[in-house]
Amino acid sequence: MTDARTPLDSATIAEEDDGIRLDRWFKRHREGTPHALLARWARSGQLTLDGKKADVSDRIATGQKLVMPTPPVETVARPARKGRPLTDADVELATGMMIHRDASAIILNKLPGLATQGGTKTEQHVDGLLDALKFDGPTRPKLVHRLDKDTSGALLIARTPRAAAYFAKSFSNRSAKKTYWALIVGVPDIQQGEIDLPLAKQPGSGGEKMHVHDSGLASKTRYRVIERAGNSAAWVELQPLTGRTHQLRVHMAAIGHPIVGDGKYGGKGAFLTGTISRKMHLHSRRLRIDHPDGGAIDISAELPDHFAASLDDLGFDLLLGDIGIEAGEKGPPPKSALKAQAKAHSKQIRKARRGERRGRTAEGKPTDFVGKPKPKAKAKPGKPAPKKLAGKKPSAKKHAARPPKAS
């Protein structure tokens, strides 16, 4: 209940704030208001949207009327963090990666080796270059998703708060479609299918590494073999149906075909000999997402030099890459059989991993297959167990294998 003596303030939600959280609105328009104070106002009913009690986590909409108490002491906005001043080379780098620009969005073809966001000992990253991409926009552009440092390709940047909220929702509800190209070691037995293996953070890695684990979050990846180089390597198209950290890298390594250059998950086996680069061969090739102003963005990012050179060295035809998974899905029903085979393949992998864990706890007992102790031979009732003759090997003729029974 609002105290009648508490002075009130009000505001109408602008279009640029449509879809954001209420606490985010306060960070933009009432800088310095402590979050603890906002939470107290919400609990006591002093925050309302269109006359209804509001929570700090509520999403707000254009035109709503927000009523709030006026802080008893004028809040002072904290000074904005000052980043490293941009050089001419930084501006050239940022604008040189741009492959699409409109009033709401910018799409970059991110270079391999460039981090999306800053971190320990990471001085140059996309987030730090965004001031160079403001142009005539009302606010500083904002990241709405990310790519791993060594992954190249299409990266979406929102130019307005409204666009950022819209795009973020598209990624969270999986309506945005991302297509990746990868070069992998070996060739999957199933040419097109789905990998369904749950992923969790690997203990002891500080959250920097993922692994397949039964208690992990559901994770699905659709794949298609575009072309193969004998049995040594394959060029594949990947579509993440969920958005887990390092999902594509872990899934490909888990089925025995790590992405070329991914030593983190593939170890020494993730590198090919000869002229093939040791850099990561994972590229965000295509991004399709609805546009907040209507229509859709559908754009493809060209391969980085090392990836293109590897495909050329292996004799792959680039024209085959754009015949996507969707084109195959429009064909006849055999797709369902491929999916069933792929899911069965994933199930076998999970069983094998469970077996490996049981095998590690078997206290060194001999095994003849993964995870289960080798069974001891039992004598048949009424017949003594055969005795071994010292110094004499039984002949193959006397102990020939019995033919299998007819089914």
Active site residue 148: yes
Check: CB of residue 225 under 8 Å from CB of residue 188.
yes
Check: CB of residue 63 under 8 Å from CB of residue 18.
no
From the CB of residue 103, how many other CB atoms can be counted at a distance below 10 Å? 13
Q: What is the DSSP string of 271-338?
A: --STT--SS--EEEEEEEEE-TTSSEEEEE-PPPHHHHHHHHHTT--GGGGGS-HHHHHTS-THHHHH
Q: Is the dihedral of CA 47, 50, 52, 56 positive or negative?
A: negative
For residue 16, what is the DSSP state? G
SS3 (DSSP) at 142 = strand
Q: What is the DSSP string of 198-233?
A: -EEEPTTTTTS-EEE-TTSB--EEEEEEEEEETTTE
Q: Which of 88, 127, 131, 148 is catalytic?
A: 148
> Catalytic positions, please?
148
